[in-house]
Amino acid sequence: MQIREITLTHELHHSDDPEHLKQILAKYGWKSLGTGLEAAVAMHPQKSYVLKIFPSHSAYVKFVQFVQSHAQNPHVPRFSRYVKQIPGTNLAYVRMEKLLKVTESQLLNNYTGYLAEMLALGEVTEMSMLADGLAMHVEDKLMGMGYDVADLMDPDQQEDIYVKLGGEPPQSWMQVLSALAEYSDHVDVEGGWDMHSNNFMRRGKTLVIVDPFF
C-alpha cells in the first residue's frame, strides 16, 4: 500500500488507538481482521495482501527485521512490503500475506508437538516462549501421559513422547525457534514471547508465528 491509495494520512496523524485505526480503515473499504494493544490489521476485497498498521517504535519492527533475514523459513509470514513509515505520523505499516486463523483447540489438537518444542527450548534458553494458558495445557497433557517438560529433553524418552503427542515437528520449526530465541537475546527482547493462540496462524497446514514480541 502506498499511503495515497487510501488517502488517509491526515486522518492517521493524531491516531494511534487500534480501535480508531480500525474505524478509519473501514471508511476506505478495509475490513478489520482484528486489533491488538497497539496494532490494527485489515484486508481489502481488491487487494491480495493484509495491511497491518502499528506504532513505529513497536517491538513488531524487530520481528519484521528477523523475518527479512529468515524469509525462506515457512513458519514466518511473507511480506510484500516490509516496514514503511506513514508520513507525518508516528505509525508504520507492512503488507503481509493472507493467512488462516488457528484456534486454541486446533493448536492443542493438531500442533501439540510444536508447542511442546517451544516449552522444551524455553527451558534450555530460560526464555518464556509460550503464553501461560497454552503452556499449562501442554504441561497437563504431558502429565496425563506420565511425563513432564524435563522429559522432552531426555533422548531416551523424546521419541516416544512426540509420537504420543502426534508427531515431532519438522526441522524447520526447530530452526526458526532457535534462530528467533538467539535473535531475541541479541535485540534485548524483554518478558519472553507473547505467543498465545492469536499470534499463531496457518498457511494451509503450516503453522506460522505472526507476532511473538510484547
> What DSSP element (H or E) covers 35?
strand 31-35
For residue 190, the model assigns a pLDDT of: 84
Q: What percent of the chain has pLDDT over 90?
A: 82
Q: What percent of the chain has pLDDT over 70?
A: 93
Collapsed DSSP state (helix, strand, coil) of residue 160: helix
C-alpha cell at 120: 522444551
Q: Supply the DSSP symbol for 71.
A: T
Arithmetic mean of pLDDT over the chain: 92
String of b and e for 47-65 (b: at least 16 CB within 10 Å)?
bebbbbbbbbebbbbbbbe
Predicted confidence (pLDDT) at residue 2 exceeds the cutoff of 60 = no
For residue 5, the model assigns a pLDDT of: 44
C-alpha cell at 197: 493462540
Decide if 39 contacts 54 (C-beta within 8 A): yes
Q: What integer is the mean pLDDT of 107-116?
A: 97
CATH 3.30.200.20 in the chain: give the residue spans: 3-98
Q: What is the pTM of this model?
A: 0.93
For residue 28, the model assigns a pLDDT of: 87
Q: What integer is the mean pLDDT of 106-115?
A: 97
| CATH 3.30.200.20 corresponds to the domain 3-98 | yes
Q: Which residues have CB under 8 Å from 135's CB, separation 6+?
A: 115, 119, 128
Compare 96 and 89 and report the one with higher pLDDT: 96
In the chain, the amino acid numbered 207 is: L
Compare 114 and 28 and report the one with higher pLDDT: 114
Collapsed DSSP state (helix, strand, coil) of residue 80: strand
Alpha-carbon distance 126 to 192, whole Å? 9
Predicted confidence (pLDDT) at residue 1 exceeds the cutoff of 50 = no
pLDDT digits (tens, 9 = 90+) for 150-193: 999 999 999 999 999 999 999 999 999 999 999 999 999 988 99
- Distance between alpha carbon 41 and the CA centroid of its chain, in Å? 13
For residue 10, the model assigns a pLDDT of: 65
